Amino acid sequence: MHFKVTFITKWSDFDPNKHMRHTAYNEYAAEVRIRYFRDQNFSIEEFTKHNIGPILFTEETSFRREIHVGENISVDFKLSGVSKNNERWKITHRVFNEQGELSAIIKVYGAWIDLTKRKLTAPPKEANHLFDMAERTENFKEIFLSKEIEN
């Protein structure tokens, strides 16, 4: 399933040089992830109900083309990797400018955290389907966990 969201950029996304702030790119990608989870019937309310939340270990952004104030942008969601039971995941977002040109690539590596214990956790069975329908990148790989990470 191809998942893409279009946004209208806003003044606060830009710096005095009229460049889109680097953090704005990442904020739009985070919004796309949350909307993707919501569209898979696992909204913020479900996170709260199960006392879990998504966290990131790494976030890497490569910039390709400039985005201008007030321009529409589109951000997609592709799965780059996932571990057994969806415990860990890698997602790639591509950001496109209004002309459809690739403006940035954002790669994140994340997992789920138990919000009470503040420890990594497997998602509840109600979330096992989250990545089933996700479009995969060409270089998709299963994530294998070491015993060290599992404990």
Give the C-alpha separation, 135 to 59, whole Å: 20
Report residue 146's pLDDT band, with 50, 70 and 90 as the boundaries.
confident
CATH code for the domain in which residue 19 is found? 3.10.129.10
The pTM (predicted TM-score) of the whole model is 0.92
Give residue 131's domain range: 3-150
Contact between 71 and 98 under an 8 Å Cβ cutoff? The reply is: yes
Q: Please state the domain count of the chain.
A: 1
**Angle made by CA atoms 76, 115, 88, in degrees to the nearest 5:** 45
Contact between 98 and 72 under an 8 Å Cβ cutoff? The reply is: yes
What is the number of H-type helices and E-type strands within the chain?
3, 7
Q: What are the distances in angstroms from CA 115 to CA 7, 84, 126? A: 30, 21, 17
Count of positions (residues) in the chain = 151
- Confidence check: pLDDT of 92 > 60: yes
88 is written with which tokens?
């860990």
pLDDT at site 135: 97
Query: SS3 sequence, 86-128?
Result: HCEEEEEEEEECCCCCEEEEEEEEEEEEECCCCEEECCCHHHC
- Confidence check: pLDDT of 147 > 90: no
Give the C-alpha separation, 79 to 139, whole Å: 10
